[in-house]
Structure 1
């Protein structure tokens, strides 16, 4: 992820990225550790001390983070692709042919059935990827429908490839399809997804996002309030 701006913005992004990475490591250790109860209690005290430090200054739900720009699909704390969000793997979504793709291997923090990815996590990733495919095709909108066909369980700690591409678009509606597959067998889907994204009417968007402000508290209703991830072009790619 790159961001143009001042040196202070670059420094903030580096710090947010570093903290997000450290917290992912903490989450990964939390769900795999076998240390004794006393060590767990000691760790909980230390984590709460850090939480208190971070809570000294907080934004409200209606205030955008200083690094976010929804119009450019830059969401630093997005739960799928945000470098600053410990819930996110995070995914880096790239343009490929007429669609988008990404690769990921998910750890035990995303476990549903033992040794397999939770079905809700598959849905979360597909929702994000389908939205990114719409953005890459010059379309955008909010998720109106998302349907998944779980054909086989998705294994943890295994290289996966996710793909999505726009099918049809008309008026405010865009349909997108996508898959999750093993990177070693990308043409055999484990999960298939079909979604419809609808661009809100101007008056709807105004009603949904009228209270949004920027980091300084200035009213900043986004003109394109989608949550899709910015798409990175592959080296040498065009378009």
Structure 2
């Protein structure tokens, strides 16, 4: 175990490698035009691999070994997790051109809603993470209480886009957030405008939500704050 980084670098490298391979498989599966016989063979192989991974599993309330909610490290987050087969994954960093945070991405056909465009529900998932991360960076961590999206135009697939999130207003335990999705080539033309409200839970609510959480070794380890955001990628 690495004492400097706080996690096993060999395990992190392996999880990252598997996540990358699985994302490649998912992307290929929605683009392929191979004949049915080949699809059946690949499906059989995929089931065999799933059985191998299923020989050791964790329960719902058990954190993965690499996760650290306090450090915002969530390796299987469906938005930022390096080990997730469904995450893009986004690399969220401080926004040098404005308040809050920013990320760039290009979404493949596995995220398709209307033909050729990003599924609207994916916009909500992505921006919930963006706003939550922006709130955390401002010291305003909390849980999503309200999320509202205004779809001004469809987000094209296989096209670079830029996502932003920032704090709009602070009031007690409530933080009002704002954000957007735009084409990287036209960042001023917003395609999706987002507002959200994040609320810091009271201590008794935290205990109700997360009192059963244990770490990878089975030790009781409820998080002291409610978040699924990952660490920011600081500019080098």
Question: How many angstroms apart in 2 are the aligned matches of 1:10 and 1:34?
Answer: 38
Question: How many angstroms apart in 2 are the aligned matches of 1:28 and 1:150?
Answer: 25
Helix, strand or coil at the partner of 2:12: helix
- Is the contact made by 2:31 and 2:109 (CA closer than 8 Å) also made in structure 1? yes
Partner residue, 1:217: 218
- Is the contact made by 1:161 and 1:186 (CA closer than 8 Å) also made in structure 2? yes
Partner residue, 1:74: 73
User: Moved runs in structure 1, 4+ residues, more than 6 A?
Assistant: none
Question: How many angstroms apart in 2 are the aligned matches of 1:8 and 1:198?
Answer: 30
Helix, strand or coil at the partner of 2:31: coil
TM-score by length of 2: 0.96
Partner residue, 2:22: 23
- Is the contact made by 2:7 and 2:66 (CA closer than 8 Å) also made in structure 1? no
Mind listing any 5+ residue stretches in structure 1 that lack a counterpart? none
Is structure 2 residue 31 aligned with structure 1 residue 41?
A: no
TM-score by length of 1: 0.95
- Is the contact made by 1:71 and 1:225 (CA closer than 8 Å) also made in structure 2? no
Question: How many angstroms apart in 1 are the aligned matches of 2:214 and 2:31?
Answer: 39
Q: What's the CA shift string for 1:148-190, capped at 9, x where partnerless?
A: 0000000000000001110111111001100000000001100
- Is the contact made by 1:131 and 1:229 (CA closer than 8 Å) also made in structure 2? no
Partner residue, 1:233: 234
Partner residue, 1:140: 141
Q: What's the CA shift string for 1:176-217, capped at 9, x where partnerless?
A: 100000000001100000000000000000110010000000
- Is the contact made by 2:178 and 2:196 (CA closer than 8 Å) also made in structure 1? yes
Q: Number of residue pairs matched?
A: 233
* CA distance 1:218–1:147, shift in 2 (3 Å): same
Q: What's the CA shift string for 1:2-26, capped at 9, x where partnerless?
A: x865797000000000000000000
Q: How far apart are residue 98 of structure 1 and its match?
A: 1.9
* CA distance 1:226–1:6, shift in 2 (3 Å): closer
1:181-192 to 2 correspondences below 5 Å: 181-192=182-193
Partner residue, 2:12: 13
Partner residue, 1:200: 201
Q: What's the CA shift string for 1:56-110, capped at 9, x where partnerless?
A: 0000010000000111111000000000001100000000142100000000000
Deviates more, 1:22-31 or 1:91-100: 91-100
